[in-house]
Structure 1
Amino acid sequence: MTESQPADENPTRATTTDPLKNAFGSLNDLAPDLASLQDLATRGSWSSILDKVSRARSGTASLLTQPHHHLTYLSYNTLALTKLRRFDEAAQELDSLEDFDSSSYKYESYPVIYSNRTGSMVPFSLRWLYAIVPVKLGNRQEGLDRFYTLLGFVREKLIQKGAANLQVSVNCWKKREIFVINCLIGLHLSNKEFSVCLNLINELISLDALDPISISKLGYIQMQIGDLEGAKTSFNRVEEISKEGEVDVEFRNLVNRNKALMYLVGKDYVSAVREYDECIERDYTDMVAINNKALCLMYLRDLSDSIKVMENALERVPTVALNETLVVNLCSMYELAYVNHSDVKRTLSSWIAKVAPDDFDSSCTRI
């Protein structure tokens, strides 16, 4: 879930009779058995979430006794359907809702239940799902329109929270603004709308001129449009920022991965492997470095080692390494390396079936 508590609420101090006064104490204070739902989501057990929501909704003694309970469980159910690529059903769940601004979704409409609490009880995750599901159904323009509407909504909240001097809320909504902009960048990038992407990334950088991730993304897009000097300048800026103070492993690895990309453009695969090795030495769960190192070895015609890099990662950290991109690349290497690649891929597919989360796309093995 994007978040695990109702969003947009006015953080007015609750009275002792307010059932949400301990909302931030534990997930189960917020909605029945919510901690279990969150745990299932973390483990990728989306089918189990659908079962749990169905049981909570059914029967005469439904667990969902308050208005915000229904919205919270609907959010998890819609997310699970989306993860399982059951997009039509996810859309039906969203269609069951009224307008998000409806009085039915405002705390003040239920003064007996929500004493001294105002604002919307619609989770931010539900607003995000409302935007992403049309994209998954092939209605890209509708999804884009909804994402831009969501961005406008987030910015309105930022103004409101800033005017009220609610710094904790401001920080939360700033993160949401960055999240939505990144979603938009992804959508435009998939359609090769690079000029829009550059505008959006520059917006991100204007929010935080020292953010290494945004500056690195700028470099990636500059590379895609052939502006290699611009990309080099962006990547050098990230490296300069890393020298200005204490930085964590993730930041240092970002610097190395940026350098490796520049080597890749120049087809200097040996130097790129060296950069990726530094990343992996610091963090053996850096799947971007692992995947790209294996590809570099493949370009160097060292299929044996490239396959070992992938297989070792899957064996060592399966829950982290198991993603469709890595598996597609590994299967491509099998096809190049082995005459009996179908048998090898079937073995891999059998192993994946035992350890993969519910939303893993097993068709990526191309058996």
Structure 2
Amino acid sequence: METSNTQTTAVDGVADTKTSDNLITDEINSLHELALRGSWNTILEKVSAARSFSQLRYPHEHLVYLAFNAVALSKLRRYSDALDDIESSLENLDNSSYRYESYPNVYPNRTGSMIPFSLRWLQALLPSFLGRRPDSLDRLYLLLQFVRARIDEGCNGEVWRRRESFVLSTIISHHSNQKEFGVCFSLVKEMLKKDMGNLSLISKLGYVQLQFGDLEGAKLSFQKVEGLMKEKEENLSVEVRNLVGRNKALIYMVGKDYVSAVREYDECIERDGSDVVAINNKALCLMYLRDLSDSIKVLENSLERVPTVALNETLIVNLCSMYELAYVNHTDIKKTLSNWIARLAPDDFDPSCTRI
């Protein structure tokens, strides 16, 4: 029932280009706003209308709308439809017809691929949701090669480094789900060779070490994160401070020192009241301490304070489990919660997590 930091994916509507010109229309910007609100059904309607009425004028617009459509379908768990839409719309992703220089009259002085990165990522990821894990892993490793080639070519370094980290994190998650922790360990170490001071990466190494039972190794990794943090004490963000706090709390949780873990999570929540990982794990620690009443209050209060952030399916699953342990009439309480969620949740929220 424990939750962890997860990386969410927004639509990357900006094509892979070597210029900074912005050809994204106001309508496409509105799709970005809808995506941020989780209005995925509305996005599908807008894309369908644009396609039906031939509103898309430029090649890149067709690709960006395809990306929004595929992301929306994926968020709504229509994985087969999303992959079919991508594969029926695109030929080989390296086809010259998807490059700006193939249309010099439309895109003067622009070079590179106009395919949004999100399309490449979804084309690699979606087979895993359809029982085709080997296909997905093959495509993810090919995508990693593609990203590294862009880095070697001198493309926007910061953007492509983030994409490299993102793809590697996705690959690590795949291997972790299959309990292939040795592969995960090697991949994280490989990433650290390029960025030895990356606190998130060192923390990720500690998480992997915990998964295959290397508690002492995890402690050393987390201590290294804390040491690096102290070296940069003056310029530390709340996010970094909470990363260190959650690492310390996790070690306490593994050692079943739930009181100390609660203390660390309290400090994280005080710094950032929307830290869902700290909120959820604090509630779990209280439950392990047999304080179900306070555990429930922690989760309910977070829903009242920051509902758009706290509407996290893992958190709701945990809250409903606690209701089942604490109350005889838990079905009625869960129905009330479910009705409240229905009014506020984004389109992709899974209502079955309340288990009514």
Contact 1:294 1:309 in 2 (8 A): yes
Q: Which moved more, 1:327-336 or 1:213-222?
A: 213-222
Q: Distance in 2 between matches of 1:225 and 1:103?
A: 45
String of CA shifts for 1:119-177, please: whole Å, max 9, x gaps: 2111111100101111111211111110000000001111111xxxx5xx122111111
SS of the residue corresponding to residue 113 of structure 2 reads coil
User: Amino acid of the residue matched to residue 218 of structure 1?
Assistant: L
User: Amino acid of the residue matched to residue 149 of structure 2?
Assistant: E
User: Amino acid of the residue matched to residue 274 of structure 1?
Assistant: R
User: Amino acid of the residue matched to residue 44 of structure 2?
Assistant: L
- Does residue 1:322 correspond to 2:317, yes or no? no
- Does residue 1:125 correspond to 2:118, yes or no? yes
Which residue in the other structure is 1:3 paired with?
12
Q: Distance in 2 between matches of 1:255 and 1:184?
A: 24
- Does residue 1:41 correspond to 2:35, yes or no? yes
Which residue in the other structure is 2:355 paired with?
366
Q: Alignment RMSD, CA only? A: 1.1
Q: Distance in 1 between matches of 2:178 and 2:236?
A: 34
User: Amino acid of the residue matched to residue 72 of structure 1?
Assistant: V
Choose the corresponding residue for 2:215, options 224, 228, 236.
228
Q: State how 1:53-132 maps to structure 2 within 5 Å.
A: 53-59=47-53, 62-96=54-88, 97-132=90-125
Which residue in the other structure is 1:31 paired with?
25
Q: Distance in 2 between matches of 1:102 and 1:48?
A: 31
Contact 1:106 1:119 in 2 (8 A): yes
Compute the displacement of 1:22 (Å).
3.8
- Does residue 1:243 correspond to 2:230, yes or no? yes
Which residue in the other structure is 2:203 paired with?
216
Contact 1:64 1:70 in 2 (8 A): yes
Q: Distance in 2 between matches of 1:40 and 1:75?
A: 14
Which residue in the other structure is 2:133 paired with?
140
String of CA shifts for 1:316-337, please: whole Å, max 9, x gaps: 1000000110000000000000
User: Amino acid of the residue matched to residue 197 of structure 2?
Assistant: L
Which residue in the other structure is 2:268 paired with?
279
Choose the corresponding residue for 2:184, options 197, 205, 217.
197
Question: TM (normalized to structure 1)?
Answer: 0.92
SS of the residue corresponding to residue 30 of structure 1 reads coil
Compute the displacement of 1:286 (Å).
0.7
Compute the displacement of 1:101 (Å).
1.1
Q: State how 1:178-197 maps to structure 2 within 5 Å.
A: 178-197=165-184
Which residue in the other structure is 1:26 paired with?
none
Structure 1 gap segments, 5+ residues each: 12-20, 24-28
- Does residue 1:51 correspond to 2:53, yes or no? no
SS of the residue corresponding to residue 231 of structure 2 reads coil
For these two proteins, the number of residue pairs brought into alignment is 344
Choose the corresponding residue for 2:344, options 332, 355, 364.
355
SS of the residue corresponding to residue 126 of structure 1 reads helix
Q: Which moved more, 1:72-81 or 1:199-208?
A: 199-208
SS of the residue corresponding to residue 153 of structure 2 reads helix
User: Amino acid of the residue matched to residue 136 of structure 1?
Assistant: F
SS of the residue corresponding to residue 72 of structure 2 reads helix
String of CA shifts for 1:78-124, please: whole Å, max 9, x gaps: 00000000111101111111111112111122121111222211111
SS of the residue corresponding to residue 206 of structure 1 reads helix
Question: TM (normalized to structure 2)?
Answer: 0.95
Q: Distance in 2 between matches of 1:118 and 1:226?
A: 49
- Structure 1 segments (4+ residues) deviating >3 Å: none
Contact 1:132 1:143 in 2 (8 A): yes
Q: Distance in 2 between matches of 1:253 and 1:119?
A: 39
Q: State how 1:286-305 maps to structure 2 within 5 Å.
A: 286-305=275-294
SS of the residue corresponding to residue 33 of structure 1 reads helix
Compute the displacement of 1:235 (Å).
0.5
String of CA shifts for 1:168-226, please: whole Å, max 9, x gaps: x1221111111111111111111111011001111221121111111111111111111
